[in-house]
Structure 1
Amino acid sequence: MAGWLVGAALLLGACTPTVEVVAPREPITINLNIKLDADVRLHIEEKAKEDVGSKAIF
């Protein structure tokens, strides 16, 4: 009877859930080129509109 209890305890102990946290091997990269490109284009367009409105082209 004691053998069954020990065996059952070992089986139940082997089924305990474990959580493992591992750092990634490669660095995490976030690509922000699209937003930056749109922001730069907006500023250039606004500056061009101001220049065209204040200065004669020809």
Structure 2
Amino acid sequence: MVVLGSMLTGGCISVNAPSEPIVIELNINIKQEVIYRLAEDAGNTIDENADIF
């Protein structure tokens, strides 16, 4: 009986690849981090050389 049940539920299964490519969009903002690091470095330079500024 179990074999008969598994034969009935094991019908036709098909797996097809999509016709269009899968697109993954990654929006990464690196500019903000670079500006922050430059601002921090500039702040440290001003603090270390306060007599120049």
Could you tell me the TM-score, scaled by structure 2's length? 0.51
For 2:48, the equivalent position in structure 1 comes to: 50
Output the aligned Cα RMSD.
Answer: 2.8
Structure 2 unaligned residues grouped into runs of 5+: 1-10
Identify which of structures 1 and 2 has the higher relative contact order when contacts are C-alpha pairs closer than 8 Å and 6+ apart.
Answer: 2
Alignment-mate amino acid for residue 41 of structure 1: A
Which has the larger Rg?
Answer: 1
Report how far residue 36 of structure 1 moved: 0.6
Q: Which runs of 5+ in 1 are unaligned?
A: 1-10
User: Offset of 1:33 from its aligned partner?
Assistant: 0.9
The one of 29, 32, 35 equivalent to 1:34 is 32
CA offsets 1:3-45 (integer angstroms, 9 cap, x no match): xxxxxxxx82xx4012337164xx8653211101111101100
The one-letter code sitting in structure 2 at the alignment partner of 1:22 is: P
Number of aligned residues? 41
Q: Which residue identity is paired with 1:48? A: I
Higher helix fraction (1 or 2): 1
